[in-house]
C-alpha cells in the first residue's frame, strides 16, 4: 500500500550543498516527491514542530539548530514509505548508521545528521500538515 511521509533535508546538509545529492538518492530509491519547499524556520516554528520533545534535554539545541539556516521539506510517497525512508536515512547517530545510508555518508554528528523523517503514520500526518497545510498533494 502506498504511504506518505515527511522528509527534511536539515540546515547542515543544505549549508554544505548536499540537497541535490540527497534528492537524487530519494528518487533513485523509488520515492515519488509529492511536495517540496525550502523553509527557514524561526525558533518558535521549530519548537512547534518538535513540541513532542519539549521536555527533553536536547530540545533547546535542536530548535536552535533547526532554525539556524534554510532546510528543505518534502512529502515522499512509496510503498511502506515511512520504513523505507527511515532505512535510507540510517540511525540517528551517524556512528551507528549502516554503510550506504544518508546519515553515514552525509551526517556530521548526532544533531547535525542531515535528514529527518516521520516515525509513524500519525507523526507523518501531523508533520505533513505542519509544513503543507491546506495543500492538495497530487
**Residues 81, 4 contacting (CB under 8 angstroms):** yes
3-state secondary structure of 4: strand
Residue 113: how many CB atoms within 10 A of its CB?
22
The catalytic position among 116, 118, 124, 131 is 116
**Residues 78, 31 contacting (CB under 8 angstroms):** yes
Q: Tell me, yes or no, if 116 is annotated catalytic.
A: yes
Residue 65: how many CB atoms within 10 A of its CB?
17
Residues catalogued as catalytic: 116
Amino acid at each position: 500500500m502506498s504511504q506518505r511521509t515527511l522528509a527534511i533535508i536539515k540546515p547542515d546538509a543544505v549549508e554544505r550543498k548536499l540537497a541535490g545529492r540527497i534528492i537524487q538518492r530519494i528518487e533513485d530509491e523509488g520515492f515519488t516527491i509529492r511536495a517540496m519547499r525550502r523553509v527557514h524556520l524561526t525558533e518558535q516554528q521549530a519548537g512547534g514542530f518538535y513540541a513532542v520533545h519539549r521536555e527533553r534535554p536536547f530540545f533547546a539545541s535542536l530548535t536552535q539548530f533547526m532554525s539556524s539556516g534554510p532546510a528543505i521539506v518534502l512529502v515522499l510517497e512509496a510503498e511502506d514509505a515511512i520504513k523505507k525512508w527511515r532505512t535510507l536515512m540510517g540511525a540517528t547517530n551517524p556512528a551507528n548508521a549502516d554503510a550506504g545510508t544518508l546519515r553515514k555518508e552525509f551526517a556530521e554528528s548526532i544533531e547535525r545528521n542531515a535528514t529527518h523523517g516521520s516515525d509513524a503514520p500519525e507523526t507523518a500526518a501531523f508533520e505533513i500538515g505542519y509544513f503543507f497545510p491546506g495543500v492538495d498533494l497530487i
